[in-house]
Chain A
Amino acid sequence: MNSSVITFPGSNCDRDMDVALKKFGFKNKMVWHEDIELPKSDLVVLPGGFSYGDYLRCGSVASKSKIMKSVTNFAKGGGKVMGVCNGFQILVESGLLPGVLLRNKYLEFICKNIFVKVIDKNSPYFKNIKKDTLELHIAHNEGNYFCTKEQIKEINDNNQVALVYSDKNGSVDDANNPNGSMKNIAGILNKEKNVLGMMPHPERMIDPTLSGEDGSIFFNNLINNLK
């Protein structure tokens, strides 16, 4: 399986994503934001970080960078595109996913482990996943998902919600919503289910000595689904 991780100026989880993808068997290439063409890929990943310093709005400048034209075409042709954290912000800014990511409810950067309940079990990202809730890690200042009434209706009608913040047993409520996201949304898919954006970092949960292995479950399942 071939993957590509895009590096924007200010990306800082690009190496971590590269390490994770390789660990679970992807042949990964790093792609510079000024490149025009994507290498042959089964998966394109927009990593976390502060692309272009997150100036203007998080992800907005990156969404206009050269490589994003190819990424958009790739996604429109059914290619798998995954954005994590800042990558998710870039995906909503580029219109590949609906909604926006506002500042966290308490206006503070949050870095901690959280649980997410897997809502979608049909997309290539979560099909066959063996756990209903995953312990992942968040580290962001703008992860507060928001969209219009019409959009949320459409998202629900098309089963586009991928992950919601929950407790470890999968119970979804305000107490387990770390950033104020609408309906506790932590990750969503596009209508066609080939584009995924999520705030939690699976790549930081791939080593038992570090912080647990639920990220490993995610990546192992992902590569199996793509094969």
Chain B
Amino acid sequence: MIVNEQVAVDHGLKKDEYKKICDLLKRIPNITELGIFSAMWNEHCSYKSSRFHLKNLPTEGKNVIQGPGENAGVIDIGDDDAIVFKIESHNHPSFIEPYQGAATGVGGIMRDVFTMGARPIANLNSIHFGSPQHKKTKNLLRGVVRGIGGYGNCMGVPTIAGQTSFDESYNGNILVNAMTLGLVKKNKIFYSKAAGLGKPVIYVGSKTGRDGIHGASMASAVFDDKIEEKKPTVQVGDPFSEKLLLEACLELMSGDSIIAIQDMGAAGLTSSSIEMASKGNLGIEINLNKVPCREANMTPYEIMLSESQERMLIVLEKGKEEIAQKIFDKWNLDFAVIGKTNKSKKIELYFNEEKVANIPVNTLVENSPMYERKWRKAKLPKKIKIKKEQFKNLKIITVLNKILSNPNVCSKEWIWQQYDHTVMGDTIQKPGGDSGVVRIHGTDKAVAASVDSSAVYCWAHPLSGGKQIVCESWRNLISVGAQPIAITNCLNFGSPENEENMGEFVECVQGLGEASLFLNFPVVSGNVSFYNQTKDIGIKPTPVIGGVGLIKNYRNMVTMDLKESDNLLLVIGKTEGHLDQSLFARDILNEKNGPPPEINLFNEKNNGETILRLIDKKYIRSAHDISLGGIITALSKMCIKGKKGATLKKPKHLISQFEYLFGEDQGRYIIEIDKNNFKNVATILEENSVHFDELGTIGENDLIIDDKSKVSIDDLIKSHTTWLTNYMSK
């Protein structure tokens, strides 16, 4: 095939990018080379629109062992233990083929983690669907949940937490973000930097097939009417092979044979070989005839661009081939020496004794395009003056039941019951709490993890929204008694070529950077997913934050279920009654304008740290952060979980009852304490200048808000648990 500008454009490259390739090579690339360039230079692999802004994120901290730039981030959790973690999107494939798309998303992120030598110990996911009324939503949800379960369950890694949301902006472009945490000893972390000349380059895992060719390019394009034609670009997962690959890799890693290792994820053999060569500042030559192929007559182009799953590339110490081969034979996996490192600083590919590609590595990596896209700053919307008359006809209990059964608030048990969340025997807080928590096997330590996003806030004002999610992630970790350590982010946005969407990206990133810097909660890994749109309509900006924290002694973990009658309930943090962009305003009053709640980073930090102090002193019996739906929604969930009631005190605030109960002011928590400890707790809170209010006391069977508003816990449970099950069984 003759390569020209049109062929390049068909590969998703821009005309000037094609010109740049010809200039860099000082010749016209052949088709294999063009394929390689298109794979490396697409948005998904090159971060060409985002790099400029991502470099401003805080990525360092005293517990950070490895920040962004490797397969995953690594943090220190003491005693030579480290946690490797990352979140990644698999949005486009999941919309085209929900089961395989979601499954391979989970498989891909687990591979990123065990590539670094860590055994995966927990999975999380953040999934976002269109309106429940949209004709595709139900099938997509069912397929995605089955896919996530199908892969994670088979791998034997517990899925400990997640988030599911519904919003019409995802009607034509769902989001599937998967996160994995792995455990590794600090001195056994593996990296992707190749080193040494003449070292064997090894291919292990499944065979290479024709699936997923151009997957990464597909993920970098806008959906149009012909998405069905893109089905063949979705990879097909085989969790059984991945389980074998995991065990085989960890077995090989226990020795000293590996110099560098990289999984074949997006853009397969292309990106893995180039990444290793680039980091090691050397060249790699590969004989493509040696690559184990599933199908006959695969061309160099297909072999290099296949995204077949469950494959790894390893640079091995010379002479260790036999030891390594034995291990992979034991696990019935393919093993092939396909090339070696050299000093050429080029990727040199041979096929049928012919050189079929010869590209300097730096042209693919350092010289890849970087764009400073145009973007528009978002104005802070004017505050809406909600008229008090609008509340007149509303009954608190009716509103509360409506909110508890709202698709974005209701119980997601139908989903997480399909995920094995207890395998490995260390899950101490299962899905449905503020964070999932797993014990570090055989120790007193535990790690907590949570995934969060607030697309509505980000849409209303990206800068505030960006800050808010980092804070929410922080609060979810604090609420279980974990010291927050670091985050990973998955930045899901519309087209970077649209100034408004690009502006959302820039300002969300700025917001999340500010918050993570202030909270000392650095970003150690992440992923950007642009072009989440169908035709011209972009999704609501949806940065997803995965937060990880440490509980030094798992027995001190806090849960949100109310524990004991007569105990006192306090609201930590100030309640101002902010209703704009709240669930109450949007879904009950149908008011979609106005600014999201303000973020006060000082209060966030101070409130959170003070709560940790109270937990340390064992004053807190249960805790829950206040988010979507305000105080009363948070309290109802605590009642539901603990099967306990509560009686509220009359608030001192000069705001309406609806603002008090449903307002979504930030930086707040509800905590349960023993009455006898009130004085001590109040002293600590006052000493630390933390605002608090008495919310009420715990009772037996009913939630009593005032003389006129009382509801049984059984009714609350019904409102909270039935919506999703009913929806899915219809």
**Residues of A bordering B, CB below 8 Å:** 9-10, 12-13, 15-16, 19-20, 48-50, 52-55, 108-112, 137, 139, 141, 201, 203-204, 206-207, 209-211
Contacts and interface: CB of A to CB of B under 8 A. Distances in A.
Contacts of A108: 146, 417-418
B424 A109 contact: no
A53 B427 CA distance: 24
Given A50-B240, A53-B240, A209-B555, A10 B423 contact: no
A55 B240 contact: yes
A111 B425 contact: no
Contact of B422 (A20, A52, A55, A137): A137
A206 B439 CA distance: 14
A13 B156 CA distance: 7
A200 to B, nearest CB: 12
Contact of B423 (A12, A19, A52): A12
Contacts of A50: 153-154, 156, 239-240, 243
Contacts of A109: 146, 149-150, 153, 418-420
B133 interface: no
22 contacts: A9-B331, A10-B154, A10-B240, A10-B243, A12-B155, A12-B423, A15-B424, A16-B424, A50-B240, A50-B243, A53-B154, A53-B243, A54-B240, A108-B146, A109-B146, A110-B417, A111-B418, A111-B419, A201-B422, A209-B554, A209-B555, A210-B425
Tell me which of A12, A48, A55 has the highest count of chain B C-beta atoms within 10 A of its own C-beta: A12
B423 A139 contact: yes
Contacts of B146: 108-109
A86 B150 CA distance: 15
A19 B439 CA distance: 14
Contacts of A206: 425
A209 B428 contact: yes
Contacts of B419: 109, 111
A13 B423 contact: yes
Interface string B549-592: 00000110000000000000000000000000000000000000
B332 interface: yes
A31 to B, nearest CB: 14
A220 B195 CA distance: 53
A207 to B, nearest CB: 8
B170 to A, nearest CB: 23
A55 B332 CA distance: 15
B417 A204 contact: no
B120 to A, nearest CB: 11
A111 B240 contact: no
B345 interface: no
Interface residues of B, number: 30
Tell me which of B154, B156, B244, B427 has the highest count of chain A C-beta atoms within 10 A of its own C-beta: B156
A111 B422 contact: yes
Contacts of A110: 417-418
Nearest to A12: B156
Tell me which of B150, B241, B423, B555 has the highest count of chain A C-beta atoms within 10 A of its own C-beta: B423
Contacts of B421: 111
Nearest to A110: B417
A188 B331 CA distance: 32
Contacts of B239: 50, 53
A169 to B, nearest CB: 18
B241 to A, nearest CB: 8
B331 to A, nearest CB: 7
A204 B428 CA distance: 11
A49 B423 CA distance: 9
Contact of A16 (B149, B423, B428, B555): B423
Nearest to B442: A19
B422 A10 contact: no
Given A9-B244, A110-B418, A111-B418, A49 B425 contact: no
Nearest to A204: B422
Nearest to B157: A12
B328 to A, nearest CB: 12
A206 B239 CA distance: 28
A111 B417 contact: yes
8 closest residue pairs by CB, A with B: A12-B156, A53-B240, A50-B154, A16-B425, A139-B420, A109-B418, A111-B420, A204-B422
Contacts of B417: 108, 110-112
A20 B425 CA distance: 9
B238 interface: yes
Contacts of A12: 154-156, 243, 423
Contacts of A141: 153
Given A50-B154, A112-B417, A210-B428, A139 B422 contact: yes
B60 interface: no
Contacts of A111: 153, 416-422
Contacts of A9: 240, 243-244, 331-332
Interface string B120-157: 00000000000000000000000000100110011110
B426 interface: yes
A70 B406 CA distance: 56
A55 B155 CA distance: 14
Contacts of A20: 425
Contact of A10 (B149, B150, B244, B426): B244
Contacts of B425: 16, 19-20, 203-204, 206-207, 210
Contacts of B155: 12
Nearest to A201: B422
Interface in B397-431: 416-428
B150 to A, nearest CB: 8
B240 A52 contact: yes
A94 to B, nearest CB: 20
A191 B422 CA distance: 32
Interface string B224-245: 0000000000000011110110
Interface in B527-541: none
Contacts of A201: 422
A210 B427 contact: yes
Tell me which of A16, A109, A204 has the highest count of chain B C-beta atoms within 10 A of its own C-beta: A109
Nearest to B419: A111
A44 B203 CA distance: 37
Contacts of B420: 109, 111, 139
Contacts of B555: 209
Contacts of B156: 12-13, 49-50
A125 B536 CA distance: 64
